[in-house]
Amino acid sequence: MTNKLRKIMDKKGPIKKIGVIGMGYVGIPAAVLFADSDAFELVLGFQRNSAASGYKIEMLNSGESPLKGEEPGLEELIKKVVKTKKFQCTSDFSKISEMDAITLAIQTPFLSNESLEPDFSALIEGLKLTGKYLCEGTLVVLESTITPGTTNGLARQILEEESGLTAGEDFALAHAPERVMVGRLLRNIREHDRIVGGIDKVSTDQAMELYSPVLTKGKIIPMTATAAETTKTAENTFRDLQIAAINQLALYCEAMKINVYDVRTGVDSLKGEGITRAVLYPGAGVGGHCLTKDTYHLERGIKISGGKLDYPDGRDSLFVLARKVNDFMPVHMYNLTVEALLRVGKTPQDSKVAILGWAFIRNSDDARNPPSEPYRNLLIESGCNVHVHDQYVMEYPGVSISHELSSVVDSADAVTILTGHDEYSKLDARTLKHLMGKESPVIVDGRNVIEPDKFIAEGFVYKGIGRGDKNDHAIK
Ligand code: SAJ
């Protein structure tokens, strides 16, 4: 860092115009919160006018949210900032040159988890467009979750090549990872602490100036860019690990014929004296755009750092093992389904199975990497007649999703719950049995949303993840 950048920023004055690239689950709430702040004059949401997502531009500019799940306060805030002309969505990327700060909230999936090959194509395109129109004194922030080392490496390189400017001299560059969860996007941005990591002090200061106005409860935590990237990938990796631990325990409890939720309550009861037991919930699998890949960003970070790692060659890290445990849970759901059908003398091949829930998380339309997909594939491969219900998910490539519960469960041999939507916890055993029209219908609960005894009493064959206390019950 030279004083040159400090001088440029002081001369330029405070950040007033912000460009947010990527109108998705991260970019939209971030953009409207910036726009709703009195600290800023104008926010432009940049969205490619592509066949797949160009529709968002018109929707947003007419004050409507393209996100279909339950998102408290989002639709109202979009309407407000569009009406006050503080927010516009555009596909004219040349307007980047008019902005004081640019944030990139673009998906960063993996091509292969084995080779740790990320698919940065969309991110690279976003960086190239930013670099093409980048002006001196602009702050660029990556909000996407990225491999540690990317901000100071690939991103810096592309921005400098495209703009002819130098990061840390002519423009500021930082990483400020998103920490949002669908269903509470606005609250998470306002209330979670914000990790901010610049490639140098001036960049960190600029990024702190950008995010401070939108925080209500959260505080800014400054660090280096690589530490910020590692913080983000590690916090999701730790969560995945915690879920893997309870999933492994659930498998053990089934084998020992006990109820994992009794054990969970017990383990969770040891509190106080600084003891925290973050015991999460077992289930049919871990989906979404974050936990399914961030472990691999962390693993790749070690690889590209070139640092000497003192750990046995070729042995899976604890983190990768956790990924494999969680990726096994849809397979376990399949095994439970086959076992339950067998109890009524059926096989997948001569059965209709109704899958309830396609979204990766409850009460949301977000269907990125849904655990229901590998589960459905296994059923299909075994010749099963599979139908899918989800009230939130509009469509999914290659899968017909119905919003009509009664038609999906009609004459089904088995109903299997893959997502914990509130609607499924209200399932009535007698009504469902009637719709299925079976003497001994099967129900497999992958999210612990139903009361086993109520269904067993109605003659169902029940299976539940972690419910070793019920899974071999006598059939009524
Ligand atoms: N899941 C379980 N058991 C649990 C919790 C979750 O099986 O106890 C499953 C869910 O059903 C889902 C998956 O894991 O399929 C992921 O669920 P999630 O609640 O972690 O939701 P994400 O992936 O949207 O949110 C995570 C959060 N990360 C952390 O809490 C460390 C969120 O704060 C991040 O912002 C988000 O990843 C992200 O975008 O990185």
291 Cβ below 6 A of ligand 1: yes
Alpha carbon of 310 to ligand 1 centroid (Å): 30
> Hey, whose CA ends up nearest to atom 22 of ligand 1?
181
Question: Is residue 122 packed enough to be buried (19+ CB in 10 Å), middle (13-18) or exposed (0-12)?
Answer: middle
Which pLDDT value is given to residue 275?
64
H-type alpha helices, 66-200 = 74-83, 121-132, 156-163, 185-191
Write the pLDDT tens digit of every residue in 270-311.
877 666 567 899 999 999 999 999 999 999 999 899 999 999
* The residue to which tokens 């006050």 are assigned: 84
- Ligand 1: nearest atom to the Cα of 291: 23
CA nearest to 445, candidates 463, 426, 466: 463
- Provide the residue type at 374 as one letter: P
333 Cβ below 6 A of ligand 1: no
Number of DSSP helices (H) and strands (E) in the chain, helices first: 17, 16
290 Cβ below 6 A of ligand 1: yes
The Cα 98–Cα 134 span in angstroms is 9
- Ligand 1: nearest atom to the Cα of 326: 7
228 Cβ below 6 A of ligand 1: no
Alpha carbon of 286 to ligand 1 centroid (Å): 8
448 Cβ below 6 A of ligand 1: no
The Cα 414–Cα 438 span in angstroms is 9
182 Cβ below 6 A of ligand 1: yes
Which pLDDT value is given to residue 272?
72
184 Cβ below 6 A of ligand 1: no
> Hey, whose CA ends up nearest to atom 3 of ligand 1?
281
The Cα 74–Cα 95 span in angstroms is 25
User: What sign has the CA pseudo-torsion 309, 311, 316, 317?
Assistant: negative
Alpha carbon of 291 to ligand 1 centroid (Å): 6
Helix (H, G, I), strand (E, B) or coil at 323: helix
Of 181, 372, 419, 448, best ligand 1 pocket probe by most atoms within 8 Å of the beta carbon: 181
Structure token digits, residue 222: 């400054």
Three-class SS string for 410-421? CCCCEEEECCCC
Alpha carbon of 232 to ligand 1 centroid (Å): 13
Structure token digits, residue 467: 């419910």
Alpha carbon of 91 to ligand 1 centroid (Å): 31
Look at phi and psi of residue 440 and say left if phi exceeds 0, alpha if psi is from -120 to 50, else beta.
beta
- Provide Rg for the chain, Cα atoms: 25
- Ligand 1: nearest atom to the Cα of 280: 8
The Cα 226–Cα 174 span in angstroms is 10
Residues 6+ apart with CB under 8 A from 16: 40, 41, 42, 100
The Cα 434–Cα 394 span in angstroms is 27
> Hey, whose CA ends up nearest to atom 14 of ligand 1?
286
Which pLDDT value is given to residue 2?
55
360 Cβ below 6 A of ligand 1: yes
DSSP string across 355-401: EE--SSSTT----SS-THHHHHHHHHHTT-EEEEE-SS---BTTB-E
- Residues 287, 360: contact at Cβ < 8 Å? yes
Structure token digits, residue 173: 């560059």
239 Cβ below 6 A of ligand 1: yes
Residues 6+ apart with CB under 8 A from 157: none
Which stretches in the chain have pLDDT values below 50? 1
- Ligand 1: nearest atom to the Cα of 283: 7
- How many other C-beta atoms can be found within 10 angstroms of the C-beta atom of residue 157? 13
- Ligand 1: nearest atom to the Cα of 366: 24
What kind and span of H or E run contains 462?
Answer: strand 461-464
Residues forming beta bridges with residue 101, ordered by sequence position = 18, 139
Residues 6+ apart with CB under 8 A from 144: 22, 26, 104, 105, 106, 107, 108, 123, 177, 178
Helix (H, G, I), strand (E, B) or coil at 267: helix
The Cα 303–Cα 275 span in angstroms is 34
